Amino acid sequence: MARLTPGGEPRGLLHPGFIGAGAALLIAAFLTDTMYYSTALWQWANFSAWLIAAGLVLALVAVVFLVVDLATGRAGKISWLPFALVAAAALLSLVNVFVHSRDAWTSVVPQGFWLSLAVTVLLLIAGLRGWRVTAPGGEP
């Protein structure tokens, strides 16, 4: 169960901000993939690869802070649907960063574009709960 402050409010969680920041970078990668698909300017593909790599770094930081939130009692139990959505997005992004490491047009089109779209959809659905992957106050 989540610990409460003396005023009865739950203590602030550490992980949602990092999930949200990483999600913003991964969603931005879809936008830069779209730009590359439209213009074929190679710098958009570079931006996509950088954004995906940075989003994955923030995802790793979010995992560390999720463990801290759980270990210190700040968070309730894991909410499995949002957790699965965010985890699937992270795994697809890991595949996507390897796809984006290819050379030229095939680094984005078509696999990288579709992977970025899938990650964006998963993260937008997960974001409806405010990037929390835990139940508030220890609710199931």
In which residue ranges of the chain is pLDDT below 50? Answer: 7-9, 138-140
pLDDT per position as a tens digit, 110-136: 999 999 999 999 999 999 988 889 986
- What pLDDT, on a 0 to 100 scale, did the predictor assign at position 101? 92
- What pLDDT, on a 0 to 100 scale, did the predictor assign at position 137? 59
- What pLDDT, on a 0 to 100 scale, did the predictor assign at position 140? 43
Q: Extract long-range pairs of 113-117: CB within 8 Å, 24+ residues apart.
A: 113/30, 113/33, 113/34, 113/37, 116/26, 116/29, 116/30, 116/33, 116/48, 116/52, 117/30
Per the confidence metrics, is the pTM higher than 0.75? yes
The mean of the pLDDT values for the chain is 89
